[in-house]
């Protein structure tokens, strides 16, 4: 088995690279351990709580006990399936804020500013929002749509934000992220439009792109150059040779694990597992970041929530309608309204995100609380806490040790308290008067800092946005793992292109920027000139220095 490029991981970035590299005439082999994404659990948007909790599709990782969260071990789902995490996620599409990428560039990721990445966000998408396309794409493989927002609660949420004095935005992925407005999703014609559907399936129709189901064990490195990938397939170990380069796109959890198994990482850690050091890169597995969130839940005065379908008969009805017509509630992820706000004056761009959902339920689909209700998922966007991904052993089949160190920075607590109090104010607006019966959680009595902190400690959950564990930076930066061309520093013929390379977590969900990384990395790999930087000017609140809203 040999190809010009061997890509490890058929996830968001890997699928995009398979598409672009094969489109350019190069031969590509994609190595993916997971299986097929066929079937309604993945393809039906309304069934999103299922694949994330199914061992067939998820690696089943959990964090180590988190000291600041009462020793809880938090679920860390990563897609083990064609399409990777884009096949098990909530399908929410957020690019991130323009200032996120300017921060990347300022921290050593030259060529990754907003002006540089916007043309790749445009190349990758076909936007169906129907507004101004100055900032949007109209002919890319990834279809971006909006839900019908037929439930009045979706409009109440946006109107309540306006009444509370916040901005309203027609398109948070366009010129103006800040504000309340419609949420966007990777859903097309009633189906989950994963990276597998958008990129991999078309790529596999070409004769020069092949998909192999196997477990990647390590990168084969000879005389300082990556020459292939050692895999286990059908119980046999073999090497898939790369004529040009090996590209790791195995997720921010599995990519650092693979780098370390290949001898690239902190020398002391590698030696402790008997692994020969090829390149001493202390940044491999460091800088782990994520978004935490809580669910602010409210009981509904009116029986208009999705709770009426929260029974076997209701779910069967929704599923049958979707299977027969591709329409109905099953064709939406039910995240149809959103908001990005600033938590305080002096903060130049949003640092709190909202997902609004017209049912009160946990992400894993359990415990619909108190009958009819609705909720906002809310959390800070730029926690200063940093964690690690380390090896448990040198066995490629052993799960890595994941330590997020959630809430380890004191600012995290202050930011989360603001989330709770600002959210209560929003749900207290006139627009919600016909709908809010009472607060289910945290609950009306949870008012003091200590009480709110206690709720966060017990109930904060990951938003499933891990990133940063092989960060991009200047070639002479000892903490960087890849240079601005995505080349692993200290090893030839090896690149990383997935959410591992984010220097700092972006504002919102990570599927969009992960696909963008795959798109942009493809041009770096092909040695093409990069797309011309955009001159489009993003909106920044003229009052950010003096006002919170």
pLDDT digits (tens, 9 = 90+) for 507-549: 999 999 999 999 999 999 999 899 999 999 999 999 999 999 9
**Closest Cα to residue 160, out of 181, 183, 129?**
181
Rg (CA), the chain: 22
Asked whether residue 511 is marked as a ligand-binding residue, the answer is no
Structural domains in the chain plus CATH codes: 1-36+83-145+185-289+465-528 (3.50.50.60), 148-182+292-380+407-459 (3.30.410.40)
**Is pLDDT at 365 greater than 80 in this prediction?**
no
- Average the pLDDT over 112-140 and give the result: 97
Q: How confident is the model at residue 366 (pLDDT cuts 50, 70, 90)?
A: low
| pLDDT at position 363 | 63
Catalytic residue numbers read 465
CB contact at 8 A, 519 and 123: yes
CB contact at 8 A, 2 and 243: yes
Q: How confident is the model at residue 475 (pLDDT cuts 50, 70, 90)?
A: very high
CB contact at 8 A, 67 and 483: no
Average pLDDT, the chain: 97
Q: pLDDT digit string (tens) for 133-184?
A: 999 999 999 999 999 999 999 999 999 999 999 999 999 999 999 999 999 9
In the chain, what are the helix, strand and coil shares in percent, each to the nearest 5? 30, 25, 45
- Average the pLDDT over 4-19 and give the result: 98
Q: Which residues pair with 210 in a beta bridge?
A: 29
Provide the percentage of residues in the chain whose pLDDT is more than 90.
96
For CA atoms 514, 519, 520, 526, the dihedral sign is positive
**Is pLDDT at 368 greater than 90 in this prediction?**
no
CB contact at 8 A, 79 and 86: yes
**Is pLDDT at 125 greater than 90 in this prediction?**
yes
Asked whether residue 140 is marked as a ligand-binding residue, the answer is no
Asked whether residue 491 is marked as a ligand-binding residue, the answer is no
**Is pLDDT at 362 greater than 80 in this prediction?**
no
The bridge status of strand 61-62 relative to strand 191-192 is unpaired
CB contact at 8 A, 24 and 308: no
Q: pLDDT digit string (tens) for 239-272?
A: 999 999 999 999 999 999 999 999 999 999 999 9
- Average the pLDDT over 400-407 and give the result: 98
Q: How confident is the model at residue 473 (pLDDT cuts 50, 70, 90)?
A: very high
Q: How confident is the model at residue 367 (pLDDT cuts 50, 70, 90)?
A: low
Q: Token pair for residue 61?
A: 């990782």
Q: Is 30 helix (H, G, I), strand (E, B) or coil?
A: strand
| pLDDT at position 35 | 95
| pLDDT at position 369 | 66
Three-state secondary structure of 83-147:
CHHHHCCCCECCCCCHHHHHHHHHCCCCCCCHHHHHHHHHHHEEECCCCCCCCCCECCCEEEEEC
Asked whether residue 92 is marked as a ligand-binding residue, the answer is yes
Tell me the pTM.
Answer: 0.98
| pLDDT at position 131 | 85
Asked whether residue 405 is marked as a ligand-binding residue, the answer is no
| pLDDT at position 370 | 74
- Average the pLDDT over 412-416 and give the result: 98
Q: pLDDT digit string (tens) for 485-502?
A: 999 999 999 999 999 999
| pLDDT at position 364 | 64
Provide the percentage of residues in the chain whose pLDDT is more than 70.
99
């Amino acid at each position: 088995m040999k190809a010009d490029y061997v890509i490890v991981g058929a996830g968001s970035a890997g699928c995009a690279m398979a598409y672009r590299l094969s489109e350019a005439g190069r031969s590509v082999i994609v190595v993916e351990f997971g299986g097929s994404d066929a079937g309604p659990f993945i393809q039906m948007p309304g069934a999103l709580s299922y694949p994330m909790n199914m061992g067939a599709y998820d690696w089943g990782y959990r964090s180590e006990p988190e000291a600041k969260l009462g020793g809880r071990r938090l679920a860390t789902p990563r897609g083990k399936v064609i399409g990777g995490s884009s096949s098990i996620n909530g399908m929410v599409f957020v690019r991130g804020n323009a200032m996120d990428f300017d921060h990347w560039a300022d921290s050593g990721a030259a060529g990754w500013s907003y002006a540089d990445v916007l043309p790749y966000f445009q190349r990758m998408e076909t936007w169906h929002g129907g507004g101004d396309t100055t900032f949007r794409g109209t002919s890319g493989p990834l279809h971006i749509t909006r839900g019908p927002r037929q439930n009045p609660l979706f409009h109440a949420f946006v109107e309540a934000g306006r009444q509370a004095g916040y901005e309203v935005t027609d398109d948070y992925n366009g010129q103006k992220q800040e504000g309340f407005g419609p949420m966007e999703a990777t859903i097309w014609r009633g189906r989950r439009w994963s990276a597998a559907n958008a990129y991999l399936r078309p790529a596999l129709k070409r004769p020069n792109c092949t998909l192999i189901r196997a477990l990647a064990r390590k990168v084969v490195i000879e005389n300082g150059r990556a020459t292939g990938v050692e895999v286990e397939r059908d119980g046999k170990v073999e090497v898939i040779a790369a004529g040009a380069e090996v590209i790791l796109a195995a997720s921010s959890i599995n990519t650092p694990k693979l780098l370390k198994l290949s001898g690239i990482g902190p020398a002391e850690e590698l030696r402790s597992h008997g692994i020969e050091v090829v390149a001493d890169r202390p940044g491999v597995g460091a800088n782990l970041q994520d978004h935490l969130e809580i669910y602010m839940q409210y009981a509904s005065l009116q029986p208009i929530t999705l709770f009426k379908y929260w029974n076997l008969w209701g779910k069967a009805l929704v599923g049958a309608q979707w299977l027969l017509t591709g329409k109905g509630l099953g064709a939406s992820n039910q995240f149809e309204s959103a908001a990005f706000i600033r938590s305080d004056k002096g903060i130049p761009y949003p640092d709190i995100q909202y997902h609004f959902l017209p049912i009160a339920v946990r992400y894993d689909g359990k415990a619909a609380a108190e009958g009819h209700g609705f909720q906002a998922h809310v959390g800070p966007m730029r926690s200063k806490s940093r964690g690690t991904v380390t090896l448990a052993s040198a066995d490629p089949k052993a799960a890595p040790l994941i330590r997020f160190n959630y809430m380890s920075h004191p600012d995290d607590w202050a930011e989360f308290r603001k989330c709770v109090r600002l959210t209560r104010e929003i749900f207290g607006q006139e627009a919600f008067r016909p709908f809010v019966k009472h607060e289910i959680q945290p609950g009306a009595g949870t008012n003091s800092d200590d009480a709110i902190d206690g709720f966060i400690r017990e109930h904060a959950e990951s938003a499933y946005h891990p990133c940063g564990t092989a960060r991009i930076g200047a070639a002479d930066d000892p903490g960087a793992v890849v240079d601005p061309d995505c080349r692993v520093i200290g090893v030839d013929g090896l690149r990383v292109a997935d959410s591992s390379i984010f220097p700092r977590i972006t504002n919102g969900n990570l599927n969009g920027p992960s696909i963008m990384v795959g798109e942009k990395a493809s041009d770096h790999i092909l040695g093409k000139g990069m797309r011309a930087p955009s001159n489009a000017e993003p909106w920044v609140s003229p009052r950010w220095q003096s006002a919170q809203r």
